[in-house]
């Protein structure tokens, strides 16, 4: 939970130092050696409450710092090495995957990325009946700005869930993909696995119950506890 406490402290300091309108547009950067990596904005459309924007903003530096950590790189490499080799070889989404390069590529994808939201009837239906928490978004052809889209009706989630979403969508921006449809195999493909690892590091106490759920790759359950 140290990631959560640090994020909240950072947001509190920011909100206390400048007016709220400015605080909402403040830098969304990592810390330490990740300080130069920043998301560009949160909720440009202004459809969310300040509390919701603060919630999304608090998860941004946590995601950057986790992916930039040595532990993330180490555990990703260990997980990749421990996966069933035949399954990996036959899965086109793992083909050519380099666990040493993936964290660097995702960190680069974070830089300048806008965290936007999508509302409307379609998003509301997805929030109610499906698992669509976010969408990869696109690149604005006029400005070149890159953005991801969070389902506006599913933003009230724990910090570790938002961190996982940012990593998943940034992984898509970095070129990693997975099959469509909510299948057990899909949950074991790169964007999901990296998002799950980020969630594990953001919330180690809650990880065992998540890893045992249908939302986690089944291979986590066969891994040594050290992973």
Task: Give Cβ neighbours of residue 224 (< 8 Å, ≥ 6 apart).
Answer: 82
Token digits of residue 202: 């953001």
pTM for the model? 0.86
Q: For residues 209 and 121, is the Cβ–Cβ distance under 8 A?
A: no
Give me the percent of the chain exceeding a pLDDT of 70: 84
* 41-42, strands of its sheet edge to edge: 41-42, 114-118, 146-151, 134-139
Q: For residues 117 and 151, is the Cβ–Cβ distance under 8 A?
A: yes
Q: pLDDT tens, 24-37?
A: 446 799 999 999 99
CA-to-CA distance for 84 and 209, rounded, in angstroms? Answer: 23
Token digits of residue 84: 């069933």
CA-to-CA distance for 44 and 132, rounded, in angstroms? Answer: 20
Q: pLDDT tens, 134-159?
A: 777 778 888 888 999 998 988 889 99
């Amino acid at each position: 939970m140290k990631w959560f406490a640090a994020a909240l402290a950072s947001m509190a300091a920011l909100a206390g130092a400048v007016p709220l309108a400015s605080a909402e547009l403040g830098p969304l950067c990592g810390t330490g050696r990740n300080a130069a990596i920043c998301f560009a904005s949160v909720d440009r459309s202004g459809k969310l409450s300040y509390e919701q924007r603060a919630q999304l903003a608090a998860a941004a530096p946590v995601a950057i710092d986790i992916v930039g950590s040595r532990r993330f790189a180490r555990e990703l490499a260990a997980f990749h090495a421990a996966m069933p080799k035949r399954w990996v070889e036959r899965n086109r989404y793992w083909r050519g995957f380099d666990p040493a390069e993936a964290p660097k590529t995702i960190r680069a994808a974070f830089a300048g990325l806008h965290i936007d939201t999508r509302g409307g009837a379609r998003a509301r239906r997805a929030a109610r009946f499906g698992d669509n928490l976010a969408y990869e978004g696109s690149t604005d052809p006029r400005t070149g700005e890159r953005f991801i889209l969070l389902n506006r009706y599913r933003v009230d989630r724990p910090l570790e869930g938002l961190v996982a979403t940012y990593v998943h969508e940034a992984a898509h921006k970095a070129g990693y993909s997975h099959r469509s449809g909510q299948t057990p195999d899909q949950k074991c493909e790169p964007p999901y696995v990296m998002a799950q690892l980020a969630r594990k590091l953001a919330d180690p106490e809650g990880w065992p119950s998540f890893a045992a759920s249908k939302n986690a790759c089944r291979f986590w359950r066969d891994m040594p506890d050290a992973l």
